Amino acid sequence: MTNSGKTLLIDADDTLWENNIYFERVIASVQEILGRFEVQPGVFRAALNDAERDHIVTNGYGTVNFTRSLERTFERFLPPWADHSLATRVRDMALEILNQPIEVIDGVPETLAYLSRRHTLYLVTKGDADEQGRKIEASRLRHFFDGVEILAEKNASVFRELVTRYSWNTESTWMIGNSPRSDVNPAISAGLNAVYIPHRHTWVLEHEEPVRHPRVTEIKSFADLRAHF
């Protein structure tokens, strides 16, 4: 990669700021509650993953939709004789994620400042538009970006549509993020380049083997982008 002007499309959740760790903490608490009723954590988690996968199709992403899947799955495993006010407690724990302060990942502001002086940056995220919009504003990173796209889904067809709309040169455009499923693989399928920044808490439904391709670069941290761009 050279330092001539590029177009850098940058993911948000678990790329610029922490996100999935808060969901995982709630899930762990729910597994602990159900453990009192001899429900195995792995069995509950598999059922929750299935519920989320199903609900995404109709309800999309975001904390509210996660809460719906979590509460319904919890109620499936809760014995009839148990205190059903526990379901309300689970719902409240999940919705509290909406009030979680934004925790920007180390090195992100400095790296965005560096990159924005040299390249054109777009923040490209997916999820509930209102929730993602609030997080973007709370992060105080918006000013580094020439544009923001909050998408219902990230796939190859969506990336192709963005390329057409913005007249991006695919050879000099990179998608940067932590998700093989939503960042790396669809970008490559759409003819873009990609930078993969693994995050150890990437959501399980985003797990996918990243494609092996000359247009994919893997780095350890967001700050490492300064060595490539």
Domain encompassing residue 80: 20-99
Same domain, yes or no, for 107 and 84? no
Mean pLDDT of 181-186: 94
What number of CA atoms fall less than 13 Å from residue 58's CA on the CB side?
A: 5
Q: Is the pLDDT of residue 84 over 90?
A: no
Q: Classify residue 143 as exposed, middle or buried by CB count within 10 Å of its CB (0-12, 13-18, 19+).
A: exposed
pLDDT of residue 154 exceeding 70, the answer is yes
Q: Are residues 79 and 136 in the same domain?
A: no
- Would residue 2 count as lying in a domain? no
What is the rounded average pLDDT of the residues 73-100?
A: 95
Q: Which of 106-120, 146-160, 189-203, 207-221 has the lowest mean pLDDT?
A: 207-221
Greater confidence (177 vs 205) lies with: 177
User: The domain that contains 30 carries what CATH number?
Assistant: 1.10.150.240
> Do residue 36 and residue 135 come from a single domain?
no
Domain boundary among 43, 74, 99: 99
Q: Is the pLDDT of residue 2 over 50?
A: no
Evaluate if pTM is beyond 0.85: yes
What confidence category does residue 4 fall into, taking pLDDT thresholds of 50, 70 and 90?
A: low
